[in-house]
């Protein structure tokens, strides 16, 4: 069952950046890419827990600020040759508002 939850207006999310949303004690990084796509994943790199929200957004990946692993927004998986996976959440924009399925 989906549980779409209104988070904030898209304008409050930096383009090519992220904003951290707290939900039940978990920090979720919500990214906005150049095409105004929004993507959400746990703010914890699968490598050593780096803050992905502070990484560089490029296309559909974010580069971890600590050791440079690239994480795919859609799958949460590290781009080969790196390995690892972080939990993702469905995200969308409706009427200018960002919603997450939590
Ligand atoms: S903690 Fe993210 S690449 Fe090492």
HSE, CB side, 13 Å, CA atoms: give it for residue 101: 9
Q: How far apart are CA 15 and CA 5, in angstroms?
A: 21
Please report the pLDDT score of residue 100 as a whole number. 98
Q: Where are the domains of the chain?
A: 14-91
Tokens 């779409």 locate to 4
Q: pLDDT of 21-54, one tens digit each?
A: 999 999 999 999 999 999 999 999 999 999 999 9
- pTM reported for the whole predicted model: 0.95
Q: List Cβ neighbours of 95 (8 Å cut-off, separation of 6 or more).
A: none
Mutate to test the pocket of ligand 1, among 48, 61, 77 (most ligand atoms within 8 A of CB): 48
Please report the pLDDT score of residue 43 as a whole number. 98
Instruction: Give me ligand 1 centre to Cα 22, in Å.
Output: 21
Q: List Cβ neighbours of 88 (8 Å cut-off, separation of 6 or more).
A: 39, 40, 41, 42, 73, 74, 75, 76
Please report the pLDDT score of residue 1 as a whole number. 85
Please report the pLDDT score of residue 52 as a whole number. 98
Tokens 């959440």 locate to 89
Ligand 1: which residue has its CA nearest to atom 3? 67
- At the top level of CATH, the class of 14-91 is mainly beta
pLDDT band at 3; cut points 50, 70, 90:
very high
Q: pLDDT of 64-85, one tens digit each?
A: 999 999 999 999 999 999 999 9
């Amino acid at each position: 069952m989906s549980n779409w939850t209104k988070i904030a207006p898209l304008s409050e999310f930096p383009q090519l950046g992220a904003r951290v949303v707290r939900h039940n004690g978990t920090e979720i990084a919500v990214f906005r890419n150049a095409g105004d796509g929004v993507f959400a994943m746990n703010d914890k790199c699968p490598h050593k827990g780096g803050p992905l929200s502070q990484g560089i957004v490029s296309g559909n990946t974010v580069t971890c600020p600590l050791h440079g692993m690239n994480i795919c927004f859609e799958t949460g998986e590290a781009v080969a040759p790196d390995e690892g996976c972080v939990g993702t959440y469905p995200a969308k924009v409706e009427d200018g508002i960002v919603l997450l399925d939590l």
